[in-house]
Structure 1
Amino acid sequence: MKPLSELSLDSARALRVVLTDIDDTVTTEGMLTASAYGALEQLHRAGFIVIPVTGRPAGWCDHIARMWPVDAVVGENGAFFFRYDRERKKMQQRFWASPEELKRNRLKLDAIEAEVLGTVAGTALASDQAYRMADLAIDFCEDVPALPEAEVDRIVSIFERAGAQAKVSSIHVNGWFGDYNKLSMAKTLLADVFGIGWDEARASVIYAGDSPNDEPMFAAFPMSVGVANIRAFAHRLTHKPAYITNGHSGDGFAELADLLLRARHR
């Protein structure tokens, strides 16, 4: 991971899409700071296509798509995208699974939930689980005392034994049934809504993240950035981001935004 300062303004000038994780990438210790939110708004006003790509739930994503200075949002690790048309006052939604598949998957996730909570001491459902449509989120440090890494791995193994995918974020283990992730839905959104094919995306998109569930994005985009706190997860990553910020969390995201804005205005 090279320091972000080594990304030249000439290279950054070709970028026009900013995809970013939210938790501990835009937020800082669970808070959305003024500087990080201001960075989102400045990027949006400068003409960048700004899209959060998050593990957070559908209920949150409806709010984000409507009220944040963003062009769309990918949620629940790729289960869907939401895009709010402000002129028409209409929400566009695209889900990976059909309503019937979501119902069947929920029954299987309920069984996993019972096993995890019954066998891994100290875990809890994520506080935002009630607002989720496609996945199961197990809290290992957001609203509970932090679990040892070995216990986080136990949670992952329970999901995987049941045939589910499981990804570790900075706060949750998210699990789901389906052959999608952050990258697959981001590619669908870019192509179907913004007309950006994959070859163009690799040249014009930058992705910012902080944890193992961002790894598909780090592997896919040559221009990828980890905020400084990703160092805590570096040993879990086969594919690391190309660059790393000096600042942690939202300060790191603001650092990235500043570089992109300087390149745009140069």
Structure 2
Amino acid sequence: MSSLETLKQHNILVLLITGRSAGWCQGLVNYLPVLGIIAENGGVYALKESQRMKPLTAINDIIEHRQLLQNNFEEIRQKFPHLQPSSDNQFRVTDWTFDCHECSQDELLTIEKICQQKKWGFTYSHIQGHLKPLNQNKANGLTTLKETYFPELSYSEIMTVGDSPNDESLFDKNLFPMNVGVANIAKYLDRLEHQPGYITNLSESDGFCELVQLIITSIN
């Protein structure tokens, strides 16, 4: 929280981008010192000024969409019966999640191939796997918000930060030339097509705080 406050004091806008559910993020954006939040890996967003979740992925019938996601998950679970749906699915709009911290890399790759065959997207973090619309990712969500609300910004003025495979699209230097991986991304590097341009020394929240200090030092 203190690092976010520090960035705000230096007039550096922060937009959170996460795989967490729309319901969880709608509460989070209310009390953090951030511009807004993109949830569900680019599926929905909320700006602090409105505090209302809005779609980034067009879904005509949410009930039908969620049923299709669940059906796809149940088909995958026939092959991997140990998979368990995440408890936050009831708060999601665009994607379907399952706990994946015990999944092997081979299992995750197989799940990705199954999703590709069925024209669904798939990504994962260290805690959850996400079944989602094919072109839904964090970079597409961020690009949409940038073009809608901040057309005056150049992409070279945007720094993206990530620490998991579901952040890979944010490491695409052709879109975001200034991108950073927090140190715990290191164990996934051999699986990523897009590699972070810089990696912090510290992991998780400590890595983010390290990055903030580097930014503030460079300004001062």
Instruction: Tell me, yes or no, whether TM beats 0.5.
Output: yes
1:186 is the counterpart of 2:146 = no
Matches of 2:128 and 2:93 in 1, distance apart?
16
1:101, CA displacement in angstroms?
Answer: 4.0
- Does the Cα contact within 8 Å between 1:112 and 1:158 map onto a contact in 2? no
- Does the Cα contact within 8 Å between 1:229 and 1:248 map onto a contact in 2? yes
- Matched with 1:124 is 84
Deviations 1:221-250 (A, max 9, x none): 111111111111001011100000100111
Instruction: Give the one of 200, 216, 219 matched to 1:261.
Output: 216
- Matched with 2:55 is 95
1:99, CA displacement in angstroms?
Answer: 4.9
The count of aligned residue pairs is: 218
- Matched with 2:27 is 63
1:217 is the counterpart of 2:170 = yes
Deviations 1:107-130 (A, max 9, x none): 211211212233213221122222
**What is the 5 A alignment of 1:44-59?**
44-59=8-23
Deviations 1:77-105 (A, max 9, x none): 111110121xxxx3244313445243332
Instruction: Give the one of 172, 185, 192 matched to 2:128.
Output: 172
**What is the 5 A alignment of 1:15-34?**
none
- Matched with 1:34 is none
Q: 1:92 to 1:59 in 2, by over 3 A?
A: closer
Q: Which amino acid aligns with 1:175?
A: L
Q: Which amino acid aligns with 2:119?
A: G
- Does the Cα contact within 8 Å between 1:170 and 1:210 map onto a contact in 2? no
- Does the Cα contact within 8 Å between 2:4 and 2:33 map onto a contact in 1? yes
Matches of 1:107 and 1:51 in 2, distance apart?
30
Instruction: Give the one of 227, 237, 240 matched to 2:192.
Output: 237
What TM-score comes out, normalization by structure 1 length? Answer: 0.77
Q: SS of 2:196's equivalent?
A: coil
Determine what percentage of the aligned residue pairs are the same residue.
Answer: 30
Matches of 2:18 and 2:139 in 1, distance apart?
11
What TM-score comes out, normalization by structure 2 length? Answer: 0.92
- Matched with 1:247 is 202
Structure with the bigger RCO (C-alpha within 8 Å, sep 6+) is 1
- Does the Cα contact within 8 Å between 2:26 and 2:53 map onto a contact in 1? no
1:77 is the counterpart of 2:32 = no
Greater alpha carbon shift after TM alignment, 117-126 vs 251-260: 117-126
Matches of 1:196 and 1:60 in 2, distance apart?
30
- Does the Cα contact within 8 Å between 2:22 and 2:53 map onto a contact in 1? no
Q: SS of 2:212's equivalent?
A: helix
Matches of 1:154 and 1:99 in 2, distance apart?
27
1:150 is the counterpart of 2:150 = no
Matches of 1:154 and 1:246 in 2, distance apart?
32
Unmatched 5+ stretches in structure 1:
1-36
Q: Which amino acid aligns with 1:209?
A: G
Matches of 1:263 and 1:97 in 2, distance apart?
37
Unmatched 5+ stretches in structure 2:
none
- Does the Cα contact within 8 Å between 1:168 and 1:174 map onto a contact in 2? yes
Q: What's the C-alpha RMSD, in Å, of the aligned pairs?
A: 1.7
- Does the Cα contact within 8 Å between 2:57 and 2:136 map onto a contact in 1? no
Instruction: Give the one of 95, 99, 120 matched to 1:135.
Output: 95
1:183, CA displacement in angstroms?
Answer: 1.0
Matches of 1:203 and 1:98 in 2, distance apart?
28
- Matched with 1:38 is 2
